[in-house]
């Protein structure tokens, strides 16, 4: 952006100081204007790409962290509960997988609506605010009935296969999405208006939240050694 502004400033100075009657001068200025336009277009494309790429990176990051936390866990470790009213790692995995599908369906409904770019100014929560709020384990919430897990997973590979199957459609959607279009789809949430980019980010942040919960379970002094 600074490069663009500097070039615009130089072009303005040249326009004011050079003789406008010179055909060669006019041609040079026109070429400079064209170069500025090309740079602006490239910068815009880069911003959109980086925006979408950043979202994909966050999904990949949360996937890698979940895989790391559950790698090599036995059935006993998956089923261990720190307390009768606490979830096991198996239940955490099941909840993450169910939620991936449900939250994505909800996000798509909002993204299928007409864009509302005029509402972007209503959004007060930044992307980092959203991530921090969702992954803050000092605040606990009760999962809705349809997302209450039973602890069906006794094998890590089976759980990760189901997780990958639930997450892949989200990744495919993001890869085809336009960052600016995602930002122009604004919907209401319990925390206030959010855009489509944030609605998709919610999925990965939710996974990150429960990956932290898995780490907490593993840190319990009674967690099985194997």
pLDDT digits (tens, 9 = 90+) for 67-105: 999 999 999 999 999 999 999 999 999 999 999 999 999
Return d(Cα 167, Cα 63) in angstroms, integer.
9
In terms of Cβ atoms closer than 10 Å to its own Cβ (0-12, 13-18, 19+), residue 226 is exposed
Please name the residues in contact with 113: beta carbons below 8 A apart, sequence gap of 6 or more. Answer: 185, 187
% of residues, the chain, pLDDT over 70: 77
Give the HSE-up count for residue 39: Cα atoms under 13 Å, Cβ half-sphere.
Answer: 14
Considering only 24-28, 31-35, 161-165, which range has the smallest mean pLDDT? 24-28
Concatenate the DSSP letters of all residues of 166-206 into one string: HHHHHHHHHHH--HHHHHH-EEEETTEEEEHHHHHHHHHHH
pLDDT digits (tens, 9 = 90+) for 162-177: 999 999 999 999 999 9
């Amino acid at each position: 952006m600074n490069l663009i502004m500097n070039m615009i400033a130089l072009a303005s100075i040249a326009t004011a100081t050079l003789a406008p009657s010179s055909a060669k001068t006019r041609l040079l200025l026109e070429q400079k204007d064209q170069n500025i336009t090309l740079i602006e277009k490239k910068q815009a494309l880069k911003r959109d790409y980086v925006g979408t790429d950043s979202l994909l990176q966050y999904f990949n990051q949360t996937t890698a962290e979940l895989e790391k936390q559950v790698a090599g866990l036995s059935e006993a470790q998956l089923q261990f509960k720190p307390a009768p009213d606490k979830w096991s790692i198996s239940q955490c995995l099941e909840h993450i997988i169910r939620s991936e599908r449900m939250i994505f369906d909800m996000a798509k409904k909002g993204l299928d609506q007409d864009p509302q770019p005029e509402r972007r100014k209503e959004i007060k929560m930044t992307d980092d605010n959203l991530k921090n709020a969702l992954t803050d384990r000092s605040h606990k919430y009760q999962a809705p009935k349809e997302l209450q897990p039973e602890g069906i997973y006794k094998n890590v590979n089976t759980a990760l296969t189901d997780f990958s199957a639930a997450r892949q459609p989200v990744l495919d959607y993001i890869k085809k999405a336009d960052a600016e279009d995602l930002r122009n789809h604004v919907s209401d949430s319990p925390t206030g208006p959010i855009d489509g980019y944030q609605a998709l980010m919610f999925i990965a942040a939710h996974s990150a939240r429960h990956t932290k919960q898995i780490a907490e379970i593993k840190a319990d002094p009674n967690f099985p050694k194997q």
